[in-house]
Amino acid sequence: MTMPHERTRAVVQTREFLLELAGNPSLPEGVRRDAHFLLRHFPSEQDVRLAGQIEEQSESLPIGVLGPVFSSSLTFLPS
């Protein structure tokens, strides 16, 4: 089972990977264009951490049955 901090880290690292692909002139134009296209609506690290903070602060509310999706941290923080 993926923990919220692991999911957060994966999303942040995926964005970094897409940025590398989009900016690498040695890759085919199509790969760079696709990476750039995906980045247009991909959440930033700040967006993901903010989502994590909102979810962590609203754990007592019946917002989601599955619990938080994201974390405000990229590492495990025991409660």
Total number of domains constituting the chain: 1
Considering the domain boundaries, does residue 36 fall inside one? yes
Tens-digit pLDDT profile for residues 53-73: 887 877 666 655 556 677 778
Structural domain range at position 23: 4-44
Helix, strand, coil percentages (3-state) for the chain, rounded to 5, are: 55, 0, 45
Q: pTM of the predicted model, to two decimals?
A: 0.74
Residue 78 has pLDDT above 80, yes or no: no
Tens-digit pLDDT profile for residues 24-57: 999 999 999 999 999 999 999 999 988 888 878 7
Considering the domain boundaries, does residue 67 fall inside one? no
Considering the domain boundaries, does residue 59 fall inside one? no
Residue from 51, 59, 57, 44 nearest 5 by CA: 51
Residue from 7, 1, 19, 2 nearest 52 by CA: 7
Considering the domain boundaries, does residue 51 fall inside one? no
Considering the domain boundaries, does residue 68 fall inside one? no
Alpha-carbon distance values, 74 to 21, 25, 55 (Å): 22, 30, 15
Considering the domain boundaries, does residue 12 fall inside one? yes
Considering the domain boundaries, does residue 19 fall inside one? yes
Considering the domain boundaries, does residue 55 fall inside one? no
